[in-house]
Structure 1
Amino acid sequence: MTVAKRLLVHGHVQGVGFRFATCLEAKRLGLYGWVRNRHDGTVEIHAEGNANAVDEMVDWASHGPPNANVARLDIQPGVIEGIDTFTERASN
C-alpha cells in the first residue's frame, strides 16, 4: 500500500547536509518525493511509497544526519503526488 507523509523538521537542520542525506536515505528506502529548505529554518520532506519504508524515513528524520540537531519533527498525512523519483527542491 502506498502512503504519503509530510514532515517538517525543526532545529539545527540547515547547512548540515540534511537535504543531501535525506535524498540518499529515501533512495535507499525506495521512496519517492522531495526535500527542501524553508525560509523559517526548517526542512520539509514529502515522502511517499511503501508504508513501512515511509515509517523508516520518519524514524530517520527524527535525528537526521550526524551534524544535525533535530529539536522537533511534525508529521502530517500527505497527498500522493505520483512522483517517480526523490529530489531536492528549491527553498520555499
Structure 2
Amino acid sequence: MNEEVRLTAWVRGRVQGVGFRWFTRAKALEIGAVSGFALNLDDGRVQVVAEGSRERCQRLLDWLRAGDTPGRVDGVTEIWDTPRGGYESFAIR
C-alpha cells in the first residue's frame, strides 16, 4: 500500500488566480515526504504532479477533491504511475 508512486492530477474549475498552487504546495509540505510541482495550464486547469508513498499522494488527492481549497474545484482527473524522480521538494511552476 505504501509503495512509491507518481500522481498526476488535473484540477478543473476556478483554480487560477486564487492562490491554488501556493496552497497545494503548502498542503504537500504539511503532508511531508511529497515532491513534485503545481503548474497553471493554458486551458485554465492546474496540473499537480506528486511523488511519494501512495498513502501520502492519496492524501493530497483527497484534499484536492475535498473542496477545502481556494477557488472552486469542479473536478479532478488523475493517473497513477511509477515515480521518475528528479524533484528535490514541492515547487510552484
Aligned length: 88
Measure how far apart 1:11 and its partner are. Answer: 0.4
Q: Is the 8 A contact 1:4 1:79 kept in 2?
A: yes
* Other structure's SS at 1:81 match: coil
Aligned equivalent of 1:71:
74
Kept in 2, the 8 Å contact 1:46–1:78? The answer is no
Shift of 1:46: 0.2
With the length of structure 2 as denominator, give the TM-score of the two structures. Answer: 0.88
1:51-70 counterparts in 2 under 5 A? 51-62=54-65, 63-65=67-69, 67-70=70-73
Q: 2:91 maps to which residue? A: 87
The one-letter code of the counterpart of 1:17 is G
Q: Match of 2:61, as an amino acid? A: V
TM-score (norm 1): 0.88
Aligned-pair RMSD on alpha carbons?
1.2
1:79: Cα distance to partner? 4.3
Residue segments in structure 2 that go unaligned for 5+ positions in a row: none
> What is the one-letter code of the residue matched to 2:14?
H
Q: Identity, % of aligned pairs?
A: 31
Q: Which residue of 1 aligns with 2:13?
A: 11
Distance in 1 (CA, whole Å) between partners of 2:68 and 2:49 is: 15
More displaced, 30-39 or 75-84?
A: 75-84
